[in-house]
Structure 1
Amino acid sequence: MKIGCPKEIKPQEFRVGITPNAAHEAVLHGHEVLIETGAGMGSGFADADYVAAGAKIAASAEAVFAAAEMIVKVKEPQPAERARLRQGQVLFTYLHLAPDPAQTADLLKSGATCIAYETVTDRMGGLPLLAPMSEVAGRLAPQVGAWTLQKANGGRGVLLGGVPGVAPAKVVVIGGGVVGTHAARVAAGMGADVTVLDRSLPRLRYLDDVFGRDFKTAYASAGNIADLIVEADMVIGAVLVPGAAAPKLISRAQLKTMKPGSALVDVAIDQGGCFETSHATTHQDPIYEVDGVLHYCVANMPGAVARTSTLALGNATLPFMLALADKGWKQACADDAHLLAGLNVHAGKLTYAAVGEALGLPFITPQAALAM
């Protein structure tokens, strides 16, 4: 199979979909790998690294899209990229379609087969291609939140860990999954007073058993959220409904109950955000203020640490990429129900229920797509 990897064009996105090691593995499997020139530079990989791995270098994104049978990326395709997709081509990347009707419409129109990293599952009910980026984003969240709280950025001027004689910042993490756990660990490690909220009692028991001395836990009821944000210096939104739009857990009216200069860090922004006042920002212009509360809502947080993120993502995606290339998407998905769960669009049909429900669009099952 001809596998293509274009350079990411979303603002301040420095990751790359295929590492030289992944390219080498694909070549060993008998596939042709085409990398757009400069695609790996943001992650510290030169064109020469890909050539040494057996890949070929393309002069432009147009050349990659025109030649490749499967496109492997990191971020959702931008409008110019969506226009290059064609019938029968496979797209393997993050999509986050539920809050993005324009992208969904374009992918349906393209006729391509689109498999989303974020909805591929595993035997334990996890999301193996989302997990590494969730780990990165979770660990980054307290770091960027601490920066947001600095007075020069409009924040409260609070040091996360405090100092002797001065109390540390209070951090509330909403969601105790992968993002929330990593965010809480880092915030607690920085010396903050951390509380994690979740609706799963087994998850809360796990967090309490493993991290009981590091941070507190609470049930994520509307009342508890409302009470805790009043005293919080930072709130990290770390909720996830796989493939669906994130629920709105803090309303605009509630911002008035929060401390002026406090910070909201919305790690769920790729799925539309979990605060009513959230909208996507970029690394170039990451924060904005609403009713005295600062919002950090960068939609590609892991792109800030591109090399770490690229290596972590490449480790996770490689087995699935090889399966798709070795067998073709239909056979690979027929053989692996967890990979089939990643199918979101095929031949003009939406194949993921949560996206259809979020956007009010008709959908078919992925099993029906296999039979087409």
Structure 2
Amino acid sequence: MLIGVPKEIKNHEYRVGMTPAAVREAVAHGHRVLVQRQAGTGSGFADETYTAAGAALADTAAEIFATADMIVKVKEPQPVECKMLRDGQVLFTYLHLAPDPEQARLLQDSGCTAIAYETVTDARGGLPLLAPMSEVAGRMAVQVGAVSLQKANGGLGMLLGGVPGVAPARVTVIGGGVVGTNATRIAAGLGADVTVLDRSIDRLRYLDDAFGPAIKTRYATLDATEELVFAADLVIGAVLIPGAAAPKLIRKEQLRQMKTGAVIVDVAIDQGGCFETSRATTHADPTYVVDGIVHYCVANMPGAVSRTSTLALGNATLPFTLALADKGWKQAMAEDRHLLNGLNIHAGKITYAAVAEALGTTATSPSSALSG
């Protein structure tokens, strides 16, 4: 199989779909890999490291899309990339289709087979290809939240951990999954006053055991959510429904009851965001203010720490990339129901139920795609 790795073109996206180490593995399996020149430079991988691993280099993305059997990326394809995809081609990347009807339509029009990192599952019910970036984003959320709290950036002018004689900032983390757990780890480590909200008692027990008295946990009723969000200096939105649009947990009218200069970091923005006032931003212009509340809603947060992110993502995606290349997508999915859960679009049809529901249409079962 010819695997293509184009350079990412989303605003301030520096990650790359395959590391040189991953290329070497694919070549060792008998595959050819075509990498666009300078695709890895943002993550610290020079073109020479790819050729040393056995890849060939392409001057343009168009060459890669025109010739590769499978495209391996990081972020969802931009419209110009969607239009280069073709019938029968496999696309393996993050898609986040629920809040993005235009991308869904373009992928359907292309006739490609689109497999989303974020809906591939594992035997424990986890999301193994989303987890590493959720870990990065959760930890980053506290860093960017702390910077956004600085007065010069529109925030309250608070130091997250306080100082002797001055109380630390209050941090409310909504959602105790991978993002929330990692945000909690960093916020608590910096000395903030941290409370985590979740609707799973088992998850709250886990967090209580993991962090002990360094944090507080609350069951996420409407009352508790309002109480903690209104009192918070920093709110981190970390809610995920796999493949589906994020629920809107805080409405615009509720912002007026928050502290002026408080900060919202919406890590769920890839899935539409969990605050009604959230809209996707970029690393070039990451924040905006609504009713005195600073919003940080960058849709590709891990791209800012591209070296760490690319290495972490590559570790997780490589076994699946090799399975797709070695066996072909149909056989690989027939043998692995968890990989089958990653199938979002095939031959013009949406094959993931939560995506179809969010887009107001009907899903075709993945098994139908396999038998077609």
Asked if Structure 1 and Structure 2 have the same fold, meaning a TM-score greater than 0.5 normalized by the shorter chain, the answer is: yes
Give the whole-Å Cα distance in 2 for the aligned partners of 1:321 and 1:126. 18
Where does residue 156 of structure 2 map in the other structure?
156
Which residue does 1:362 correspond to in 2?
Answer: 362
Matches of 1:232 and 1:94, distance apart in 2: 32
Mapped pair 1:116 → 2:116: yes
1:331 aligns with 2:331: yes
Number of equivalences: 372
Shift of 1:245: 0.1
Output aligned runs, 1:1-372, within 5 Å.
1-372=1-372
- Alpha-carbon distance in structure 1 between the residues aligned to 2:173 and 2:35: 39
SS in 1 for 2:213: coil
Q: What are the Cα deviations for residues 210-229 of structure 1, in whole angstroms up to 9, with x where unaligned? A: 21222110011111010111
Please say if residues 185 and 214 of structure 1, whose CA atoms lie closer than 8 Å, have aligned partners that are also in contact.
Answer: no
Q: Output the CA distance in 2 between the equivalents of 1:184 and 1:213.
A: 12
Residues in 2 aligned to 1:28 and 1:13: alpha-carbon distance in whole angstroms: 29
Partners of 1:221 and 1:321 lie apart in 2 by 41
Q: Which runs of 4+ in 1 moved over 6 A?
A: none
| TM-score, with structure 1 as normaliser | 1.00
Structure 2: where are the runs of 5+ without partners?
A: none
Give the AA of the match of 1:41.
Answer: T
Tell me the secondary structure at the aligned position of residue 183 of structure 1: helix
Q: Hey, what's the Cα distance between the residues in 2 that align with 1:9 and 1:210?
A: 39
Residue type of the alignment partner of 2:202: P
The alignment partner of 1:230 has SS state of helix
Shift of 1:199: 0.3
**CA distance in 2: counterparts of 1:125 and 1:363, whole angstroms:** 22
| Partner SS, residue 213 of structure 1 | helix
Matched to 1:304, the amino acid is: A
The amino acid of 1:335's aligned partner reads E
Partners of 1:222 and 1:303 in 2: how far apart? 33
Distance in 1 between the 2:315 and 2:24 partners? Answer: 13
Q: Write the distance in 1 (CA, Å) between the matches of 2:367 and 2:200.
A: 30
1:320-357 Cα offsets, whole Å, 9 max, x none, are 00000000000000000000000000001110000010
Q: Could you list the per-position Cα deviations for residues 249-285 of structure 1 after superposition, in whole angstroms to 9, with x for gaps in the alignment?
A: 1111110000000000000000000000000000010
